[in-house]
Amino acid sequence: MTNLSKYFQLNILLLFMALIVFSCKEQSIPKIIKSDSSQHPKLILTKKGVEEIRANLGTVPIFDKTLKAVKEEIDAEIALGIDTPIPKDYSGGYTHVRHKRNMVVLQKAGVLYQILDDEKYAKYVKDMLMQYEAMYKTLPLHPKTRSYARGKLFWQCLNDSNWLVYVSQAYDCIYDYLSEEERNQLETNLFRPFADHISINSPQFYQRVHNHSTWGNAAVGMIGLVMDDQELIDRALYGIKDLKLDAKEKDDDGGFLNKDGKAGFLANIEEPFSPDGYYNEGPYYQRYAMYPFLIFAEGLHNVKPELKIFEYKDSVLLKSINALLNLSDADGEFFPLNDGQKGMSYYTSALVTAVDISYHFGTQAPGLLSIATEQGSVLLDDSGLAVALGIKNKKAVPFEKKSINLSDGSKGKQGGVAILRNEDIELVFKYASQGSSHGHYDKLSYSLYEDGDEVLQDYGLSRFVNIEQKGGGNYLKENKTWAKQTIAHNTVTQNETSHFNGKYEIGSQHHSVLNYFSSDNEVVQVASAIERNAYSGTELLRTMAVIKDENLEKPYVLDIMKVISDKVNKYDFPYYFFGQVIQTNFEYKTPKTLSALGDKNGYQHLFVEGRANAVSGNSKLTWLNNRNFYTLTSITNGNDELFFTRIGANDPEFNLRRDPALMLRRDNSQNTLFVSTIESHGSYSPVTESAVNSKSSIVELKVVLDTDMYTAIEITLANNKKTLFITANLLSSQKHSVKINGKDYLWTGNYYFK
Amino acid sequence: MTNLSKYFQLNILLLFMALIVFSCKEQSIPKIIKSDSSQHPKLILTKKGVEEIRANLGTVPIFDKTLKAVKEEIDAEIALGIDTPIPKDYSGGYTHVRHKRNMVVLQKAGVLYQILDDEKYAKYVKDMLMQYEAMYKTLPLHPKTRSYARGKLFWQCLNDSNWLVYVSQAYDCIYDYLSEEERNQLETNLFRPFADHISINSPQFYQRVHNHSTWGNAAVGMIGLVMDDQELIDRALYGIKDLKLDAKEKDDDGGFLNKDGKAGFLANIEEPFSPDGYYNEGPYYQRYAMYPFLIFAEGLHNVKPELKIFEYKDSVLLKSINALLNLSDADGEFFPLNDGQKGMSYYTSALVTAVDISYHFGTQAPGLLSIATEQGSVLLDDSGLAVALGIKNKKAVPFEKKSINLSDGSKGKQGGVAILRNEDIELVFKYASQGSSHGHYDKLSYSLYEDGDEVLQDYGLSRFVNIEQKGGGNYLKENKTWAKQTIAHNTVTQNETSHFNGKYEIGSQHHSVLNYFSSDNEVVQVASAIERNAYSGTELLRTMAVIKDENLEKPYVLDIMKVISDKVNKYDFPYYFFGQVIQTNFEYKTPKTLSALGDKNGYQHLFVEGRANAVSGNSKLTWLNNRNFYTLTSITNGNDELFFTRIGANDPEFNLRRDPALMLRRDNSQNTLFVSTIESHGSYSPVTESAVNSKSSIVELKVVLDTDMYTAIEITLANNKKTLFITANLLSSQKHSVKINGKDYLWTGNYYFK
C-alpha cells in the first residue's frame, strides 16, 4: 500500500504539474554564470548559483518541493538539539547512526543557510562543528577493531571519509559566516588531522584503486578545495606522494590492497570504469561510489575548471551514469551483480546526484528528466535547478532502456555485461572480469526479469546492510561460503568446484571474452561469450538469445551453453526460479529427510528436495510465480539427473533465504551442450480464478548440428511450426554457409534465425 | 507494475471524473418505477429499468465505461464465432473453460441487446442457445466421474447450475425476440430438462443447505421465473417436494449431505447466515455463494415482490454484504478462514453484484460507492445505474472498517469471528462453529495483518483453483492432511492431535463461546472466547487484545491463552510468521538434515529447521518481512522447547508452500498459560539502507495473577514504564475487584488496562 500511495501521490503531482505547465509559457534555462573561486560557497553551491536559485524560488515545483522537505527535516533536527556522542558502535549502533545522520544534517543545514539566508542554520552548523572539533582533537582510534583501516568517528575509515565528503560541503556553506579564528580552529584541530587520518595514517585504505579509496580521495580533495590547500588537493588527485604499498597484501574482503601501485582520484576514475562507463564491481557498488566521484568532480569543476574533470577519459564519468541507469530493471532497481543488495534503485539519493549532474554537466538529455521526475527530488544546487527548470518547461521524455552491451576493463578489453531487452523481458548476461573484491565466481551467468520482477534470480549478497543484529550489518560468512560460489548462480559448475577454485588471485587475472553481441534485429537479440580460464582445460561458450516469435505470447529465452573439455567431468547447471511447481514431464521422488547436496563450495548450503532421472529428449518444468506461468524446456538425455534444491542447509543463523532451484546434473561427460528455453506465458488471477495460457508453447528442442564452427537448434512450437537458430561459435567471417540434414543454409552475420 | 499501472489508470480516471463532476450540477436519482412482471425482460433487467438506462447513456461515467468494456468484450467473442464443444474435461480443461465462458458471454450479450437495442446480440444469444439445445437433448452424464453429483455440460452439477443462473438471464433478455415456437423448443429440450437434472435427478446436490445447493436453487428458480413456471419456482424456494435424504450420507468434501432435511433457497438463507450476516463457511465461500443469493433475490424482488425477499430474516441478505466487506483486509482481500484461496477480494465480479444490489435495495449507504469506485465497474442493470449515478453525484465517502464482532450460527448462538482493528493492524480471531464441510479444525485461532499484508498467516486452502495441472484445479489431498489440521493454524494443539480428532461429525456438533468483545475504547480492543469441546477434558480460553500504547510506535497484540485440563498434556503453539529471522534471545541449533516433526495430523508436513530450549522468563524472536520488523515476546519456562519449522515435508508433488513458523512446545503440563505479545516496529529500506526502530520496545511480560476468575499480565516497556492488563475469565458481573501484590484494583467492565 505504501508504494501505491507514493505512486498515487506522484501521479497526482505529475498531473497537477502538467496542468500548471499548460498554463505557463515556456521559459528558457538561464545560462550558468561562472563563479569566482575565491569566494564561498564555491564547492557545490556557487555564489552565482545561489543567486539564481534565490531568484527562482517559488516558481520551480520539484525544486521548491525538495527545499520544503529538507527545511522540514532540518528544522526538526535542530529542535532535537545536537548530539555528537563518543564513538563506540558498529554499523547500526547508536553512535554510528548518529554520526552518519549528523553528516547529512550538516550538509543540508549548510545548503539551507545559503538558499534561505537564515543564520539559524549557519549557527547550527557552526555549533555542531565546534563540538566535533572539541571531541576530535583528543579522539583515539575507534574502539571496534574489525576493520583493516579503523576510523575515529566510525569503526572504519570508509565511514569517516563519507563524513568528511558531506561536512566539507557544510563548511564551505558557512565559511564566510565564521571568523578567521574559528576557521583556523576547525581546520587545525578537525579538518586537517581528519584528512590526514584517512590518508597518510591509513594508506592501506587510501592508496588504492577501490571504491573505499574513492571516498577517501574525495573527502581529502573536497576539504582541500574548501580550505584552498593544494597539498590536500594533490593528495586527492594523485595519491599520497612517494608512497608504495606491498602489492600482495589483502583487505578484509580478500581484495588486493594495491596490486599495481596506482592511487588517487584520477587513477580511481581511470581503472574501474570501462570506456562504456561500466564500473568493474557492478552497479550496486557503482551506485555507492558514484556520489564521491560526482560530487568531488562537481567541486573540481567549480573550483578547478582547468582540470576539465567531466571530460576526463572521454567523459567517462558522465557515460558511467548512463551505464548505471541501464543496469536497472523496469522498476529502477539495480541488477544485483556480484555483491549487490537487492532493492537498491535509482531512487537512492546518490542517483539524484548522478542524474542531476549528468543532465547539467552533460548534454541535457531529456530522458534524464523523466527519471528525476520519478525520483521526486533534485539537488539543491545549480544542477538541481537546471533539472527542475527542465521538468517545469516540459522537456521530459521517457528514459528508454534498450538492449545494451557494456564492456568491462579500463580499456574495455576485459569482457563485459550484456543486457537483452524485448518487451517486458530483460536478460542480464555477465561475461565480465572478476569485479574486484566484490566479485562473484560466476562466469557466463545470467539472470532473467519480467517487468521488474525476477524470473531466474541472481542471489545477490549475503548481508543485511546496516541491520546491526545480523553481524553488525556487515558481510556474513555465508557471503563467501554461498553467495560468491559458482553454484549459487545460473551458470555451469564443473566437478562441484567453483570457477577459479573460488580463488580471487586467479579469478582477478582473467575475464571472459565476447563472441558477439547483436541487437539490431528487433525480434532476435543475442549475446555470446567465451570463458577459457574458469576451469583449466575446459572452454565454455554460452550464447543467449531473447526471441520474439509471433506464435508465442511473449519473447522467450534460448540458452546454448557449449562445453569443450580435455577430460571427463561432472557438470551442474542450476535454474534459480521462484514460486510453485505446477507441472513436470519427468517423474521425481521427494526424500523423507532433507540432506545437503555436498559439503563445500556452496553445495553444503543446498538441501535436496527432489530427485529425478531426466527425460531422454526434453525435460520440462512449469512453475507459477507472481501470477505468471513459466516453463523451462531443456534438452536432456536419459543419464542426466535433475534435482530440486532449496538454499538453507548449514545455515546456523538463518542468514540465507530459503529459495528453490531446479538443477540439471550431467556426469561422466566431456564435450557437451546444454540447451534450454524459458518461456513466460499466461497468467493466473486469484480474483477471477482463471488460469490463462498455463501451458508451454514449445513442443520440442532439438540439436540438429553441433560442430566447432556452428551449433544449430530446431525449435518446434505447439502449432507444429519449426524454427531454426544457428549460432557461429567462432568469430571468423560474417558470411556463413552450412548444410543441415541435406539443406544448405547461407547467411551473413553471427547467427541465423528463421 | 501491472497493479501499479491499474492503480495509476484508476487514479487518473478518478481525477477526471472528479473534474467532470465539478462541472455538472447534481442530479437526483430517478425513482425506480415498478415493472410489469408479465413483460420481458423482468428478471434482472426490467422493461422500465432499460428505459431509464437508455435515457442516461453517455452521462454516467462508470456505467458508460462498464458498458463500453462489455461491448468490446462481446464484440470480440462474436467475431470469434460460437463453440459449444462436447463436454470432456475437468476444471481448467478446454471444454470446461469454454462452457464457463459461454455462460458469461450469453448473459452479457443479452444485456447488450436490451441496452443497445442491437439485434446482432439477440441473434448471437439465440444461435448459441440453439446449439446448446441441439446438443443437450441427447447429452449423457459428463464423462468425468470424480464428483458426487455429475453434471452434463460440466463434471459437476455445481458448474451446470452456474451456467443456468447466467443463461436464464440471457434467455430473459431475448425472450421477446424469439418466436413462441423457438421458446417452446428451448424450454422443452434445454431449460426444463436442465433444471430437472440439477434438481430432481441430483437430489444429493440440490436438496441441501450448502453453497452448492444455493446455486442449484437459484438456477432452477431463475429459469422458473423467466418461464413463469410455478413448479420450478416452488422447487427453488422450498426444495424438491416430499423428498427426504439419508441424514448420514456425506459428500466429496466430507460434509453431511442433509443432516436435518432442510432444503430450498429460503432454508439456504435461513441456515448458513447468522443474524449479523456471517456465512458459516467463511468469506471465501460467502463471496462465491453471494452471487446466486443476490441475483436470484433480485429476480424474486422484480418478479415476485410480494415475497419481500430482501426483508427476509431481518434483511439478512443485505447484512451479509456488510459482513463480507468487513471480512476483508486493507487491500480488500478476504481473510482466508477455513478453505479460502488467498487473493480473492472485493474486486471479484460477485462483489460488484453484492455492492450494487446492497446499495440499490438497501439504504444507499454512501460508503458502498467508494468500493464501487475502486471496483471500477457496475452491474449493467437498475442497481448498477443507481450506483453509477450516486458516484456521479459525488455521494461516495470512504467505507470505514472498524473492529467488529460477527456472530455465527443461524440464530447467532454458535460463536463467531471477531476482527480487532487499530491503525494499520488487523487481527482476525475465529471462535466460530465448524463452518460446514469447508471448515478447518482451528478453534480460537487467529491471523494478523498490517496494512493488508500478512504478519502471522492463516495458511488458507491447499488447492490451485482452476489450474488444471494441479489435480484438475480441485482440492488437493494436502488440504485434508495439512490445511485443515489444527497445527496448520495459530492456535494450540494438544498431544499432536487436531481439535475434535479432526473429525467433522464431532466438530460440526460444537462451537466456541464468546467470553466478551469490547471495542468501545479506541486504544484497547479485546475479544475473548472459550472452547470446551475441541479436546475432551480440556478447556481453552483465549483473550486477544490490540493495544495502542503511546510509548510504542504502533499498536501491539497481547495474546493470553489459558488452558485448563483434567490431565497432563503436551501443548504445541505455533506462530506462522513470514520472512527472515533477525534475532532471538534463545540459543537454537539447526540440524544437518531435516526431518518431519511428526507422522500425522499435519505434523508429517513440518520440517524442523531449528530447535532450542526456551528462556526461563521471556523468549523473543525478531524477524524482518515486507521491510518491517516484528517481534514476538512469549512467556516461557526453562522446560519449554522452541522449534523453527517449515512446511513441505511429505509433499511429493510440491503442493504446499515452504512457509516458516516458530513453534512453542510445552510438554508434561496440565493447567497452563500461554502469554505473548507481537509488535510491529520500525522499517528497513533497501534504498536508503537504513534500519529504523529495529528492536522490540517490550522488555518483559510477566504473569502477576492467574486464577479461575482473573488473569493479569504486567508489560514492562523499554522506558521502564509498566502497564497492567487484567482480563475477567468468567462472565459474571461487570464490577470487579482484585488484589495483586498487595494492591487493590477495582474496575467496571471485562478487562482492566492501565
Evaluate whether A609 touches A644 at the Cβ level (below 8 Å): yes
Chain B within 8 Å of A11 (Cβ-Cβ)?
A: yes
The pLDDT tens digits of the residues spanning B671-715 come to 999 999 999 999 999 999 999 999 999 999 999 999 999 999 999
Residue A738 — pLDDT band, cuts 50, 70, 90? very high
The pLDDT tens digits of the residues spanning B336-347 come to 999 999 999 999
DSSP B353-379: HHHHHHHHHTT--HHHHHHHHHHT---
**Greater confidence, B21 or B487?**
B487
Chain A within 8 Å of B652 (Cβ-Cβ)?
A: yes
Candidates B423, B706, B441; CA nearest to B560 is B706
Contacts of B139 by beta carbon, 8 Å cutoff, 6+ apart:
B87, B152, B153
Rounded CA-CA distance B292/B294 in Å is 5
Q: Identify all chain A residues contacting B658, using CB atoms and an 8 Å cutoff.
A: 646, 658, 660
DSSP class of residue A502 equals: G
The span from the first CA to the last CA of chain B, in angstroms, equals: 46
How high is the pLDDT of residue A261?
A: 77
Q: Name the residue ranges covered by the structural domains of chain A.
A: 280-401, 404-753
Chain A: residue whose CA lies nearest to B660 = A658
Task: Please name every residue paired with A666 in a beta bridge, in sequence order, or none if there are none.
Answer: A571
Chain A: residue whose CA lies nearest to B593 = A595
ipTM: 0.89
CA A339 to chain centroid: 9
The pLDDT tens digits of the residues spanning B533-566 come to 999 999 999 999 999 999 999 999 999 999 999 9
Chain A: residue whose CA lies nearest to B453 = A1
DSSP class of residue A484 equals: T
Q: Which of A654, A685, A694 to mutate to test the interface with B (most CBs of B within 10 A)?
A: A654
Average pLDDT over residues B477-489: 98
Chain B within 8 Å of A521 (Cβ-Cβ)?
A: no
Interchain pair B7, A4: CB under 8 A:
yes
CA dist list (Å): A43 to A55, A74, A382: 20, 21, 11
Between the ranges B91-100, B125-134, B286-295, where is the mean pLDDT highest? B125-134
Which helix (H) or strand (E) is B322 found in, with range?
helix B312-326
Average pLDDT over residues A726-733: 87
Rounded CA-CA distance B57/B392 in Å is 13
Interchain pair B466, A691: CB under 8 A:
yes
The torsion region of residue B466 among left (phi > 0), alpha (psi -120 to 50) and beta comes to left
Evaluate whether A344 touches A334 at the Cβ level (below 8 Å): yes
Average pLDDT over residues A310-318: 96
Q: What is the mean pLDDT of chain B?
A: 93
Residue A287 to chain B, least CA–CA distance (Å): 11
Q: Identify all chain A residues contacting B97, using CB atoms and an 8 Å cutoff.
A: 690
Contacts of A486 by beta carbon, 8 Å cutoff, 6+ apart:
A441, A442, A443, A492, A493, A497, A498, A499, A502, A534, A601, A602
Would you state the cell numbers that stand for residue A223, as one nine-digit string? 576539504
Rounded CA-CA distance A633/A619 in Å is 6
Q: How many DSSP H helices and E strands does chain A contain?
A: 19, 27
Average pLDDT over residues A599-612: 98
Evaluate whether A327 touches A417 at the Cβ level (below 8 Å): yes
| Low-confidence winner among A17-26, A551-560, B38-47, B69-78 (lowest mean pLDDT) | A17-26
Evaluate whether B602 touches B486 at the Cβ level (below 8 Å): yes
Interchain pair B583, A469: CB under 8 A:
yes
Interchain pair A582, B473: CB under 8 A:
no
Q: Identify all chain A residues contacting B291, using CB atoms and an 8 Å cutoff.
A: none
The pLDDT tens digits of the residues spanning A184-200 come to 999 999 999 999 999 99
Rounded CA-CA distance A359/A351 in Å is 12
Q: What's the number of CA atoms in the CB half-sphere (13 Å) around residue A285?
A: 23
Rounded CA-CA distance B71/A372 in Å is 40
Indicate if B206 belongs to the active site.
no
Average pLDDT over residues A454-469: 96
Chain B within 8 Å of A5 (Cβ-Cβ)?
A: no
Angle at A735 between CA A730 and CA A737, to 5 degrees: 85
User: In this complex, which of A341, A469, A607 lies closest to B594 when CB atoms are compared?
Assistant: A607
Residue B371 has pLDDT above 80, yes or no: yes
The pLDDT tens digits of the residues spanning B593-628 come to 999 999 999 999 999 999 999 999 999 999 999 999
The pLDDT tens digits of the residues spanning A85-133 come to 999 998 878 999 999 999 999 999 999 999 999 999 999 999 999 999 9
Q: Identify all chain B residues contacting A651, using CB atoms and an 8 Å cutoff.
A: 590
State the count of interchain CB pairs (< 8 A) between A and B: 157
User: In this complex, which of A92, A581, A607 lies closest to B691 when CB atoms are compared?
Assistant: A92
Rounded CA-CA distance B170/B164 in Å is 10
Evaluate whether A544 touches A559 at the Cβ level (below 8 Å): yes
Q: What percent of chain A has pLDDT over 70?
A: 94
Average pLDDT over residues A607-636: 98
Residue B245 has pLDDT above 80, yes or no: no
Rounded CA-CA distance B155/B145 in Å is 7
Rounded CA-CA distance B195/A447 in Å is 55
Fold that domain B404-753 belongs to in CATH: Beta-galactosidase; Chain A, domain 5 (2.70.98)
Rounded CA-CA distance B171/B191 in Å is 10
- Give the number of other CB atoms < 10 A from CB of residue A741: 8
Interchain pair A688, B650: CB under 8 A:
no
Would you state the cell numbers that stand for residue A78, as one nine-digit string? 535542530
- As a whole number of angstroms, the longest Cα–Cα distance in chain B is 91
Which helix (H) or strand (E) is B148 found in, with range?
none
Would you state the cell numbers that stand for residue A521, as one nine-digit string? 534485429
Q: What's the number of CA atoms in the CB half-sphere (13 Å) around residue A530?
A: 13
CA dist list (Å): B479 to B472, B484, B485, B672: 14, 6, 9, 31
Candidates B296, B284, B176; CA nearest to B235 is B296
Chain B: residue whose CA lies nearest to A604 = B592
- Give the number of other CB atoms < 10 A from CB of residue A658: 17
How high is the pLDDT of residue A436?
A: 86
Backbone angles phi, psi at A373, to 5 degrees: -65, -45
How high is the pLDDT of residue B36?
A: 54
How high is the pLDDT of residue A22?
A: 38
How high is the pLDDT of residue B362?
A: 94
Q: What is the mean pLDDT of chain A?
A: 93
The pLDDT tens digits of the residues spanning B74-124 come to 999 999 999 999 999 988 789 999 999 999 999 999 999 999 999 999 999
How high is the pLDDT of residue B730?
A: 86
Evaluate whether B70 touches B378 at the Cβ level (below 8 Å): no
Could you list the active site residues of A?
Answer: 285, 438
Q: Which of A13, A14, A464 to mutate to test the interface with B (most CBs of B within 10 A)?
A: A464
How high is the pLDDT of residue A251?
A: 65
DSSP class of residue A85 equals: P
CA dist list (Å): A562 to A445, A526, A540, A703, B652: 13, 15, 6, 12, 34
Residue A730 — pLDDT band, cuts 50, 70, 90? confident
Chain A: residue whose CA lies nearest to B11 = A8
How high is the pLDDT of residue B698?
A: 98
Task: Please name every residue paired with B662 in a beta bridge, in sequence order, or none if there are none.
Answer: B575, B644
Three-state helix/strand/coil letters over B677-702:
EEEEECEEECCCCEEECCCCCEEEEE
Q: Identify all chain A residues contacting B466, using CB atoms and an 8 Å cutoff.
A: 689-691
Evaluate whether A557 touches A678 at the Cβ level (below 8 Å): yes
Rounded CA-CA distance B542/B673 in Å is 10
Task: Please name every residue paired with A404 in a beta bridge, in sequence order, or none if there are none.
Answer: A419
DSSP A591-658: -SSB-BS-SSTTGGGEEEEEEEEPPSEEEEEEEEETTEEEEEEEEE-TT-EEEEEEE-TT-TT--S--
Residue B252 — pLDDT band, cuts 50, 70, 90? low
The per-residue b/e assignment along A209-220, b for 16 or more CB within 10 angstroms, e otherwise, is bbbbbbbbbbbb
How high is the pLDDT of residue B20?
A: 37
Rounded CA-CA distance B488/B598 in Å is 13
The pLDDT tens digits of the residues spanning A241-265 come to 988 777 677 666 666 666 677 899 9
Q: Identify all chain B residues contacting A349, using CB atoms and an 8 Å cutoff.
A: 688
Q: Where are the alpha helices (DSSP H) in A137-282?
A: 157-174, 180-186, 192-198, 203-206, 211-227, 230-238, 265-270
Average pLDDT over residues B391-400: 97
Rounded CA-CA distance B356/B295 in Å is 11
pTM attached to this predicted model = 0.89
Rounded CA-CA distance B155/B143 in Å is 7
Candidates A527, A443, A447; CA nearest to A492 is A443
Residue B8 has pLDDT above 50, yes or no: no
Chain A within 8 Å of B658 (Cβ-Cβ)?
A: yes
Residue A34 — pLDDT band, cuts 50, 70, 90? very low
Rounded CA-CA distance A273/A407 in Å is 9
Strand A569-575's sheet: what is its strand order? A493-494, A569-575, A660-669, A641-647, A606-613, A588-589
Chain B within 8 Å of A590 (Cβ-Cβ)?
A: yes
Residue identified by cell 526453562 is B638
Task: Select which of B121, B132, B206, B285 is catalytic.
Answer: B285
